[in-house]
Structure 1
Amino acid sequence: MKKQAQLPNILKTRPFFQKIQWIADPVGYMEKAAQQYPDIFTARIVGFGDTVVFVNHPQAIQEILTNDRKKFVAVAEANKIAKPLVGEYSVFLLEGTRHKQRRQLVMPAFHGEQMQSYGQRICSLAENAFSQLPLDQPFLGHNVTQEISLQVILQVVLGLHEGEKLQKFKHLLLQMLNLFQSPFTSSVFFFSFLQKDLGTWSPWGKFLRDRKQIDELIYAEITERRQQPDTKRVDILSMLMSATDDAGQPMTDQELRDQLISLILAGYETTATATAWGLYWIHKKLLVHEKLLKELDTLGDFTDPMSIYRLPYLTAVCNETLRIHPVIMFCFPRVVQEPVRLLGHLLEPGTVLLASVYLTHQREDLYPQPKEFKPERFVESQFSPYEFLPFGGGVRRCIGEALAIFQMKLVLAIALSRYEFALVDRRPERPQRRGFTLAPADGVKMVITGRRVCQESFKSL
């Protein structure tokens, strides 16, 4: 008699209550489940079909990510909740050969010389944002990093530097991006019955109108650049417009729009949030702050952004920030394609798997005292891509990873080298759902207490 597969470690809480917990408090939900079932468990949450299996054991994650073209396939249907935002041609939602081809067209914008060309611009944007903050007056660190991240999108991604067009883009993007900043408003993506256009006063109705206006601006910009091409432009939109596939065909207007929105959504909140968490932990831990300042002061007079990027302790601080508070909670969903055994459990085709980034980063056997912020972990040890995976893994690893890390390092370096900060509220920040991300609930309340006297290391910036 053939043995029937059974879903592993099914949580006993009623599905409706699981879904509410998942939306309102995803960290608490995952941690409670992992206490009961440390390596793998089956959940009933919204957004990924009726049932999903969470996995946070590195060996199992390695098996999933190294076999994600055969046994475990990244099926876009499992990520369909993002479709209203990113569109059907987004690299997030394409599958198989189409995904691979479009990813190859987008990737060059985030590597090599292109990254270096973005560096000075990011440094200037960071300096400008912090210079506008008054001394001894509280501000929210998350708000500042969001402003920098938005400016990076407008200038580096879209290639807009000034004028009415930039202000229109900024206004509309902020309206749409901030619409889903709380767990309550985020719920419209997880419950389809809430996706009703009840006019501008309703969250979904306002989202649809904001999206329409943004699309009109994007299509107008694409049309203008097609009519007046400029080969000297190095922004990401221009690079995407000049890219062609193996048949020599460029992206269509809709494909360009969907890739742009995907990059904007993936890069804005995630990078801003990671940087805000970095500001929080650096100023929460005095020894980390002192050690980082000493490293920044060793750069010398001829510093460039790439020198900042290569600093080892700054790298460790950013890695530990992304470990303790990964912005994205899990890797791109995978779907089982054939009967397979994972951690001793037989899984049937159609089973949806989520490799949990958050729970993996909280494993005591990988990271002793996981709730403690210890950048030295990444100085003293090396972790595999299945143990430390803040940007996901496999063929669905985040395209904008290099730019996100680059921006995070440069913004933190500029801030710390130029100004002296203090946290206003000594109470611990807690992560809270903000759309699809985990952001600091209180926004990282800070104050600038003065300018740093020793700034030789940044004379050239």
Structure 2
Amino acid sequence: MATASTEAVRLPPALQLPTALQGLAFLAARRSLVAALARRHGTMFTLDLPGFGRTVVIGDPELISDLFGTSRALLGRAHLNLGKVFGPGSMFNLNGEEHLNRRRLLAPPFHSAHVVQHRRIFEEEVLRESANWPEGQEFQTLPAMTRILLRGLLRSMLGADGPAVDELCALLPSAVSLGARIGLLPPIVRNDFGAWSPGARLHRYRSHFDAAVRALVVKARADPALAERTDVLAILLQTRYDNGESMPEAHIADELLGLLAAGYETTAATLSWAVERLRRRPQLLSRLTAEADAGGSEWRQATIWEVQRTRPVGDIVQRRAMTRIRLGDWVIPEGTTLMINIRLAHSSEDCFPGAEYFDPGRFIGTGRKPAGWIPYGGGFQRCIGATFANMAMDVTLRTLLQEFRLVPTDAPGERASDHGVVFAPSRGGLAVVHRRTVVVEKQPQTTPGQMGRS
């Protein structure tokens, strides 16, 4: 792990970007640019970026693993992140012990024992959304996956349904899109400069969201069965810090917004990529269908992991050095932004031999995943909803395989398109489906290992 250091600063090679590629323009062009820089200068280099300051880009899995093993006393949140959009009570704004205490409070509803109780919700949403899918006609899966994930997360997190979910489904996509576009701009952009200014629109969205959450809080507190509920809101209303204090309701709203915004688009885009990949691999598609019919899950899980590796929907994890630290051969000064590049790590031949190929079999029978697999980040700031997201993807993919026959294609693969928050298939993850005429008897889920490699 990285350690505190009093040695003289020794940074990786410093590169000078053209003015047009600095700052936020770098974020827009980062995928192709970072790949080009890595080919020429290796997987660790230093940039000076307006807004980010001195920034060390890291793509070496071993060094990333060391960094993720570093304590919260040495690393913190990067100054420039979307926490300001989510609100002061969001974990995206917390560091050190404050972050630790909040994460402990949030952890129970995201434990696997709780997460499994929400599987039925996502199966219902898949069936609801796919009921009127056109058969034999090409359509985009990304909008459909987005609706499945958003409604499923709202029901699971808020314990709500009906009009309350409908209202937030109409509100959140526009709010999240706007917040993603202006969240990393200077704070003045978020000010209210008139009814149609971006800041004013963002404030209106947030006011509507807070009002909806307050109404749900009032309803939950009046629910005589509150103690038996498994939704995230109900659990947060009942949990307490070690000193006996509860989380302020304003902070609950901030956390719910952050969890929803960070969760539904990323998971939906990954599922759309899964469709895009499977249509070009008919043998794997047949195998997954047979496995789903038999109640298995090993190859489906491996496929999800390989989709996340080869088509990461996010490619940057940020940290900030809280003090001078030693990382490998380098000594990083306090205040430096550490920009961990997921795509570089996922392309490591040391971790993933034949990394350029899509091969779910690399995860079959291997035990733990390699250190270079980091779609959820890592360390004490690893995505708290990772288990939840994996469950939602598994249930959605299984249900679709059991309900539909996905028509293969020999069309070129879709490119990644920047949607502001995520990188999604450029054509929306196109699919052609036919409803299966044979009704599959739902089988209980089996443990990994039921299906071997072939």
**TM-score scaled to structure 1, two decimals?**
0.88
Output the CA distance in 2 between the equivalents of 1:318 and 1:447. 20
Residue deviations 1:100-158 (CA, integer Å, cap 9, x gap)? 11111111101243222101111111122112212223321111110001111221111
Which has the larger displacement, 348-357 or 137-146? Answer: 348-357
Output the CA distance in 2 between the equivalents of 1:442 and 1:425. 15
Which residue does 1:61 correspond to in 2? 64
Match of 2:233 among 229, 237, 259: 237
Would you say the 8 A contact 1:332–1:396 is kept in 2? no
Which residue does 1:391 correspond to in 2? 376
Which has the larger displacement, 383-392 or 137-146? Answer: 383-392
Match of 1:337 among 323, 340, 351: 323
Letter of the structure 2 residue corresponding to residue 144 of structure 1: A
Output the CA distance in 2 between the equivalents of 1:432 and 1:194. 25
Which residue does 1:174 correspond to in 2? 173
Which residue does 1:209 correspond to in 2? 204
Output the CA distance in 2 between the equivalents of 1:101 and 1:456. 45
Would you say the 8 A contact 1:296–1:417 is kept in 2? yes
Q: 1:132 to 1:79 in 2, by over 3 A?
A: farther
Which residue does 1:126 correspond to in 2? 126
Output the CA distance in 1 between the equivalents of 2:156 and 2:123. 12
Which residue does 1:420 correspond to in 2? 405
Would you say the 8 A contact 2:86–2:257 is kept in 1? yes
Would you say the 8 A contact 1:81–1:190 is kept in 2? no
Alignment of structure 1 residues 364-443 onto 2, 5 Å: 364-379=349-364, 381=366, 384=369, 386-422=371-407, 426-443=411-428
- Cα deviation, residue 357, structure 1: 1.6
2:36 equivalent to 1:36: no
Letter of the structure 2 residue corresponding to residue 231 of structure 1: A
2:151 equivalent to 1:151: yes
- Cα deviation, residue 261, structure 1: 0.8
- What secondary structure does 1:333 align onto? strand
Q: 1:123 to 1:3 in 2, by over 3 A?
A: closer
Alignment of structure 1 residues 96-111 onto 2, 5 Å: 96-111=96-111
Would you say the 8 A contact 1:91–1:99 is kept in 2? yes
Which residue does 1:327 correspond to in 2? 313
Output the CA distance in 1 between the equivalents of 2:121 and 2:418. 30
Would you say the 8 A contact 2:17–2:47 is kept in 1? no
Residue deviations 1:33-71 (CA, integer Å, cap 9, x gap)? 211222201123455x2121011212211221112334x
Alpha-carbon RMSD across the aligned residues, in angstroms, is: 2.5
Which residue does 1:88 correspond to in 2? 88
Match of 1:12 among 12, 16, 22: 16
Which residue does 2:430 correspond to in 1? 445
Would you say the 8 A contact 2:7–2:331 is kept in 1? no
Alignment of structure 1 residues 180-191 onto 2, 5 Å: 186=181, 189-191=184-186
- What secondary structure does 2:227 align onto? coil
Q: 1:385 to 1:69 in 2, by over 3 A?
A: farther
Letter of the structure 1 residue corresponding to residue 55 of structure 2: V
Which has the larger displacement, 345-354 or 356-365? Answer: 345-354
- Cα deviation, residue 383, structure 1: 5.4
Which residue does 1:160 correspond to in 2? 160
Which residue does 2:3 correspond to in 1? none
Letter of the structure 2 residue corresponding to residue 215 of structure 1: D
Match of 1:296 among 273, 292, 297: 292
Which residue does 1:302 correspond to in 2? none
Unaligned runs of 5+ in 2: 1-5, 446-454
Would you say the 8 A contact 2:11–2:332 is kept in 1? yes
Aligned residue-pair number: 439
- What secondary structure does 2:417 align onto? strand
Unaligned runs of 5+ in 1: 300-307
Match of 1:73 among 72, 75, 84: 75
- What secondary structure does 1:92 align onto? helix
Which residue does 2:260 correspond to in 1? 264
Output the CA distance in 1 between the equivalents of 2:284 and 2:409. 18
Would you say the 8 A contact 1:26–1:433 is kept in 2? no
- What secondary structure does 1:165 align onto? helix
Percentage of pairs with the same residue: 26
- Cα deviation, residue 16, structure 1: 4.1
Output the CA distance in 2 between the equivalents of 1:280 and 1:237. 34
Which residue does 1:360 correspond to in 2? 345
Letter of the structure 1 residue corresponding to residue 337 of structure 2: V
Output the CA distance in 1 between the equivalents of 2:192 and 2:349. 46
- Cα deviation, residue 332, structure 1: 4.0
2:142 equivalent to 1:142: yes
Which residue does 2:283 correspond to in 1? 287
